Amino acid sequence: MAEIVFEQTQIQSGNFCGMTISALRKRLDAGEFIVAPGVYDMISALAADRMAFPALYMTGYGVSASHLGLPDAGLASYTDMVSRVGVIAQGTNTPLIADADTGFGGLLNVDHAVKGYGRAGAAAMQIEDQEYPKRCGHTPGRRVVPIEDMVRKIRVAVEARDSRDFLIVARTDARTTLGLDEAIRRGEAFAEAGADILFIESPESEDEMATICSRLKGTPLLANIVEGGRTPVLPQDRLEALGYQISIHPGSAFMAAASAYKGIYNSLKANGSTVGTNVPMLSFADMNVLVGFDRVWSFERQHPELE
C-alpha cells in the first residue's frame, strides 16, 4: 500500500470564505464536473482539503453520528449543524456544500438557516422536501411534504442569501414513495423556484438516472453516491456521460474510518498492542503535519522567547 503523505499547508482561517464561495459557482458555470467527498469532522475535512478536490460535502449522517453518536433521523439541531459548518469552513480552503436537512423548520427557520450557513462560510446549502423528522436518503420510511411547501422554502432560501454565489441545493426524496415521475416534476418546480442545483435522491437504476438527466436540463444535477445504498455506484466518466455535474460521496470516509476503528480496536483487544496489525495507519509524523504542528513549530522558531 502506498504511503499517504499530506503536504505542509498552513491553514488560513476565515479569509478564504468569499473566494471559495465564488469558486464553486465558477466551476459549475464552466461546466466542470465536481467530485465532493463527504467530510464530517476536522480530521476528515483536513485530509480531503489537502487533496485539491473542487468541493467538500458536509454530510448530515456523518455529523450526527460523529458529533452526537445518533442516527441521521432529524436529531441533529440547527445549532449542532451550523457550528460544524463554521469549524469545517473556517479550517479549510475548499468550497463546502453543507447539508441542512429540511431547513430546520418552517419558512422563518429556512431564512435563518441560510443566513447562518452563509455567515459560517458554506458555499452551498442543501435543503430537502421530507416531512419532519427527516431520514437518511437511502433508508426506508421517508415521507415528503406537499410540493408547494418545498417551493416556498426554496424561494425563501434564494431571497435570504446575501449573494447569488451562495448556492441553494434542492433535494427531493419523492422517488422512493411517490415514484420517479413525481420526483422529476418536483425537480422542475424547484428549478423554477430558483434552485441552483437539483438533487433527485435515490434513483434505483442507471436507467432511472439517465431519465432524470434527460428530463431535467439547464440546472446542474447532483448524484448521491452511497456504497450499499439504493443508487448504483458509477464512475465519474459514466456520471458525466449521463448528464450529472456533481457527485457527492457522503459515507465513503466515515464507513472506511469505522472499519479501521474496528480493526485497530480488535488488535488492541486481542493482543494488547498494535504490533503486527494489518490496519493501515498514518505515520505519527504525517498526522502531525495534517493537524498543523508544522505551523506551531515554525511559530516557535520565530519566537524563541516563548521557550
Q: Answer whether residue 87 shows pLDDT above 80.
A: yes
pLDDT of residue 261: 96
Give the global pTM.
Answer: 0.91
Q: Which residue has the higher pLDDT, 199 or 22?
A: 199
Averaged over 250-264, what is the pLDDT? 97
CA angle 227, 233, 235 (to 5 degrees): 130
Which residue would you say has higher pLDDT here, 175 or 3? 175
Q: What would the pLDDT profile of 216-225 be if each residue is shown by its tens digit? A: 999 999 999 9
Q: Tell me the per-residue pLDDT of 221-248, one tens digit each, with 9 for 90 and over.
A: 999 999 999 999 999 999 999 999 999 9
C-alpha cell at 287: 498526522
User: What domains sit in the chain, N to C, each tagged with a CATH number?
Assistant: 17-257 (3.20.20.60)
pLDDT in tens, 27-77: 999 999 999 999 999 999 999 999 999 999 999 999 999 999 999 888 899
Q: Which residue has the cell 455506484?
A: 233
pLDDT at residue number 18 = 54
Is the pLDDT higher at 2 or at 163?
163
Residue 137 pLDDT grade (very low, low, confident, very high; cuts 50, 70, 90): low
- Are 183 and 204 spatial neighbours (Cβ–Cβ below 8 Å)? no
Q: Who has greater pLDDT, 153 or 132?
A: 153
Average pLDDT, the chain: 91
